[in-house]
Amino acid sequence: MAHTQQEVLAGLAELVNDETGIATDAVQMEKSFTDDLDIDSISMMTIVVNAEDKFSVKIPDEEVKNLITVADAVNFITENQD
Amino acid sequence: MRRVVVTGIGATTPLAGDAHGSWDSLLRGESGISTLEQDWVAKYEIPVTFAGQAKVLASSVLTPQEAKRLDPSSQFALIAAREAWADAGEPELEPDRLAVDFATGIGGVWTLLDAFDALKERGPRRVLPMTVPMLMPNGPAAAIGMALGARGGVRTAVSACASGNEAIANAFHRIQRGEADVVVAGGAEAAIHPLPISAFAAMHALSKRNDSPEQASRPYDSGRDGFVMGEGAGALVLESLDGAKARGAKIYCEIVGGSVTSDSYHITAPDPEGAGAARAMLDALAQAGAGIEDVEHVNAHATSTPVGDIAEYTAIKRVFGKHTDNLVIAATKASTGHLLGGAGAIEAVFTILALKNQTVAPTINLDDQDPDIPLNVPRVKTQLVRPDAIAISNSFGFGGHNAVLAFRSV
């Protein structure tokens, strides 16, 4: 069953919190993963792989560099989930 | 050469989650060895079903994110190092003058094997990106260096069960030579995992007393049948005597010797003549400018293996001759098990506290002392008498590594 954009945001915030300790309510659509949330590339890869499991989606490695903001990730997942 | 003192201690061991708690437990004659309740014991039919598990879970001390990014060996190391650093009063100094010498015998074995399981079961994409920095043997030293802001060089000694002592010896020499002013030194191990247990069991190195784990580690006893694996870490803060005095730090004792020799005899068996071990003890005393009669206490390597314990006795006898009878010996692995790369570090902590308190902890499980090892090993806690006593702590490792530390009361 496809997840709504709101569900994806909430689920992604949980994955970010789990990996980095950042509060879930700090994970907002306009935030940049690196500049605002200070997430390094290793944590980003872990979050991406966990998001693939959580949302039944494939996020190719070459796509990860385009996921600048939380909104980029939420939109990619929402549009590409099985 | 500069004089070097101990100004901070830390430990997390099978007896307690801190240094003083571990020492108090040791003085009470307790055992930190218990039956393993993990499901992998039955699943893989592991032949040895007990070990010295850390008394306090590392994950209950660290933040979830720290725990997630550190192998258990690095988790133990960081906990012990932070305790030692706080105990030393968090010395303020130029980061370039602060260094780390922290050892492990095996490294991130949990991380490595979990990652291989993930690869086999779920494919390469499910191998955690943090796998390499978590499994590398310099991981514990690097984690401490990052946490404390050390830029004076972060190094790792790897010499099996002599690793902890070798790291502390390296730290001592760095400060002696003026290469650093403060060094956080010690060792950690987290190898209570089905593979290392099976591997040590395969070489018949481990005790098989599955029905009485608390009695399994029995150095010097006639019934000893192998060592008991332990986990945890020990850490010291070493600094120059002048620096410690200048900042008014409390001083536990002076470290006066640190020697490393090698047997070149056999990859696992100790030289039965104890020549290399004896040279390490003599050299540590030579560095101290001390004679054999100055030594009052020995924290022995004493792992509870049939051949290892007697080889160490031979080496001690070779060094001390008639003075051997005057030595007050402690075999603290009887209580903690054998922490491999962490062993020398927690035993350094115990040796330092023995000097500080002028008290040697009891050695438990010594019900029927091996007549071929007539050492003075008290079953009750015993006072040291000399205020300027020297104590040495021995560690020996597979590969023929011998590393001996010498400490003196101040």
The fold adopted by the segment(s) A5-80 is: 1.10.1200
C-alpha dihedral (B351, B352, B353, B354), degrees to nearest 10: 50
| Beta strands per DSSP E along B224-370 | 232-240, 253-262, 295-299, 328-330, 359-360
Report chain A residues whose CB lies below 8 A from the CB of B130. 42, 46
Cβ B336 vs Cβ B32: under 8 Å: yes
Residue A1 has pLDDT above 80, yes or no: no
* Of B299, B315, B319, residue with least CA distance to B307: B315
| Rounded-to-integer distance, Cα B331 and Cα B317, Å | 16
Q: Is B161 part of the annotated catalytic residue set?
A: yes
* pLDDT tens-digit readout, A12-62: 999 999 999 999 999 999 999 999 999 999 999 999 999 999 999 999 999
Candidate list B161, B173, B193, B253, residue with the active-site label = B161
**Cross-chain residue pair B130–A19, CB shorter than 8 Å:** no
Q: Is B401 part of the annotated catalytic residue set?
A: no
Token readout for B339 is 């922490």
Q: Which residues of A touch chain B, with CB atoms under 8 Å apart? A: 18-21, 41-42, 45-46, 49
Sequential DSSP letters for B183-236 = EEEEEEE---SHHHHHHHHHTT-B---TT-GGGT--TTBTT---B-BB-EEEEE
Token readout for B143 is 């984690």
**Cross-chain residue pair B128–A46, CB shorter than 8 Å:** yes
CB atoms within 10 A of CB B78: 28
The model's pTM is: 0.95
Domain ranges for chain B: 4-246, 258-408
**Cross-chain residue pair A20–B125, CB shorter than 8 Å:** no
CATH number, span B258-408: 3.40.47.10
Q: Is B297 part of the annotated catalytic residue set?
A: no
**Cross-chain residue pair A19–B63, CB shorter than 8 Å:** no
Give kind and range of the element (H or E) at residue B364. none
Of B65, B125, B128, the CB nearest to A21: B65
| Rounded-to-integer distance, Cα B363 and Cα B220, Å | 10
What does the pLDDT read at residue B239? 98
* Of B196, B194, B172, B199, residue with least CA distance to B183: B172
What does the pLDDT read at residue A81? 86
Give the angle A44-B146-B75 at the CA atoms, nearest 5°: 80
3-class secondary structure, A25: helix
Bridge-based pairing state of the strands B154-155 and B98-104:
parallel
Token readout for B106 is 């095996």
ipTM for the predicted complex:
0.82
Candidate list B173, B193, B297, B301, residue with the active-site label = B301
Question: Which sign does the torsion angle of CA B157, B158, B163, B166 carry?
Answer: negative
Domain ranges for chain A: 5-80
**Cross-chain residue pair B129–A46, CB shorter than 8 Å:** yes
Q: Per-residue pLDDT for chain B (410 aa), expressed as one digit of tens each?
A: 999 999 999 999 999 999 999 999 999 999 999 999 999 999 999 999 999 999 999 999 999 889 999 999 999 999 999 999 999 999 999 999 999 999 999 999 999 999 999 999 999 999 999 999 999 999 999 999 999 999 999 999 999 999 999 999 999 999 999 999 999 999 999 999 999 999 999 999 999 999 999 999 999 999 999 999 999 999 999 999 999 999 999 999 999 999 999 999 999 999 999 999 999 999 999 999 999 999 999 999 999 999 999 999 999 999 999 999 999 999 999 999 999 999 999 999 999 999 999 999 999 999 999 999 999 999 999 999 998 999 999 999 999 999 999 999 98
Q: What is the DSSP letter of B279?
A: H
Give kind and range of the element (H or E) at residue B5. strand B4-12
Report chain A residues whose CB lies below 8 A from the CB of B125. 49
CB-based burial of residue A4 (10 Å sphere; 0-12 exposed, 13-18 middle, 19+ buried)?
exposed
**Nearest residue in chain B measured CA to CA from A43:** B129
**Nearest residue in chain B measured CA to CA from A18:** B65
**Nearest residue in chain B measured CA to CA from A44:** B129
3-class secondary structure, B54: coil
Superfamily of domain B4-246: Thiolase/Chalcone synthase (3.40.47.10)
* Min Cα–Cα distance to chain B from A43, Å: 8
